[in-house]
Structure formats: structure tokens, C-alpha cells
Amino acid sequence: MTLRIGIIHNQEEKSILVLQRLRALLADKDDLEIVERDPELVITIGGDGTLLSAFHRYNHRLNEVRFLGVHTGHLGFYTDWRDYELPELVNSLSGEQGKSVSYPLLDVILTTRSGDQRHFLALNESTIRKGSRTMVADVYIKEELFERFRGDGLAISTPTGSTAYNKSVGGAVVHPSINAMQLAEIASLNNRVFRTLGSPSIIGSHEWIDVRLKSNEEHLITIDQLDIIRKDIVSIKYRIADERIHFASYRHMHFWHRVKDAFIRED
């Protein structure tokens, strides 16, 4: 059976060279086919940003496609293979059995003042900010008011996204086998008048977060690489999505090995 492979790459010179080598190696395999549409496996060449782009391109086919990353720069959290390992990578694809490992995704629903809703999926995270002004929002967890937040903003992340912006604002690093999302405050105001929890919170898959904005002014909502700037958003609802992302598990790197390489190990 032929494995249908799509390739997405960034425009860095090194990535273009890797693309050319990969295409040549794949062409020598009778059971591997490079396709432009409906791939079963998507190989990304670049870094985590390239894989994020591929995820959003194919997020309507998550039950039918797996992802595999080749990194051409710094070690990434979604990229298992190095550019000099292409022959080993291609050999592992030939005759493979379709094994994969899956990670949770974030389901995001924006609601406007008119009642219109927009639905998104996030692989890493979503943030809510109000420019240079203090943001005020009521945070509901499973329909119960949890806190009135005042501060720079909020970050809601998946377990895989916990090592990204979430970590820089003091959030916990969460193993992706845990089917949960994380709520982290960005520079919250805590004094005698205003009070929030002030600590990151892990929210289970059976619960949801509803952030209800208390101002009609412009807010910036990010969903992975997407920026949405609007004045009419009244609430943003988050939960763990029914869909999951699937990574090809030929040699899927241990999560804590990734964490160590990214934040602890000295070169």
C-alpha cells in the first residue's frame, strides 16, 4: 500500500536544501508518494512554527492525517528528526504500520455582541489582552464565577503548549498525556482591593473556561499564530477539543527529553 505524503516547509535556505534531498529520497521508494492533496502523512521542514502552520492547514482532517517534523534550526517540541537523518527517516516510512501518538487540542469559541460565534482549534495556546490598558474580565469555570481578573491578560494552553508562552508567565509544564488545559494569569493585579488566584490552574477535560470581557474596547485574542483584534467580542470559551493531533511515532521523542534539551542541557 502506498503512503501519501505531503510536505510543508519554511523558506529558509537550509530548509529548501533539505526539501530537495527529501524529495529525491522519497522518489526512490515505490510505496511512498508525494501528493499535493489529501495526504495521510504531513512532513514539515523547519521548526515548531512550520508545524503549527501545517496543523492549521489540515485541522479539518485531523482524523485522517498524521504529522512528522524535521527541524532545520534549534530543537523544537514538535520536530523529532534532524536534517542529517533523512535516509533513516525515509527508510522508517517505507512499509510502516501507521502508528501514532496523539495530543490534546484546545477548542476556542469567540462570541460577539451580536451573538455571532467563531470556532477555532489551537495546538499550543490562546491569549487574551487589551493592549496597554488593564484588562478586566470575569472568569467562569463550568458556569460558576471563579474570579474577576484585572491585569495584562490571560493565557490558556494545551499540555504541549505549556512549554511555550505559558511557561514564560509562570505556568507549569504539563505532560501531553494529561488531557487538560491550563489557565495562567499575565501580570494580574493583587492588592487590598483586587484579588485573583495568582497561580496557574489545571482544568480537566470535563470542565470549561468562559472568559467574559467587561469592556467594549478593543481586545487582542491570539490563537496559536492567529491574531484577532476586535471591539465587539464579549466572551471566549475554552475546552479540550474532541479532536486530537496525531504524530507519527516512528521515533517520537520522549517529552521530558524535549524539556531537558530545550531548557536545561548545556551545549
Q: Which residues are catalytic?
A: 48
150 carries a ligand binding annotation: yes
164 carries a ligand binding annotation: yes
Strands (E), 50-98: 66-71, 81-82
166 carries a ligand binding annotation: yes
Contact (Cβ atoms closer than 8 angstroms) between residue 238 and residue 209: yes
Run of H or E including 13: helix 13-27
Quote the distance between the C-alpha of residue 6 and its chain's center: 20
**What single-letter amino acid sits at 55?**
F
For residue 223, is it left (φ>0), alpha (ψ between -120 and 50) or beta? beta
Quote the distance between the C-alpha of residue 116 and its chain's center: 25
124 carries a ligand binding annotation: yes
Handedness of CA 252, 91, 64, 111 (dihedral sign): positive
167 carries a ligand binding annotation: yes
118 carries a ligand binding annotation: no
Contact (Cβ atoms closer than 8 angstroms) between residue 47 and residue 56: no
Which SS3 state, helix, strand or coil, does residue 197 take?
Answer: coil
267 carries a ligand binding annotation: no
Dihedral over alpha carbons 227, 228, 229, 233 (to 10 degrees) = -150
Phi, psi of 53 (to 5 degrees): -65, -40
152 carries a ligand binding annotation: yes
2: which 3 cell numbers?
502506498
Dihedral over alpha carbons 215, 149, 234, 208 (to 10 degrees) = 180
170 carries a ligand binding annotation: no
Question: Which residues are known binding-site members?
Answer: 48-49, 124-125, 150, 152, 163-168, 187
Q: Which residues are annotated as a binding site for NAD(+)?
A: 48-49, 124-125, 150, 152, 163-168, 187
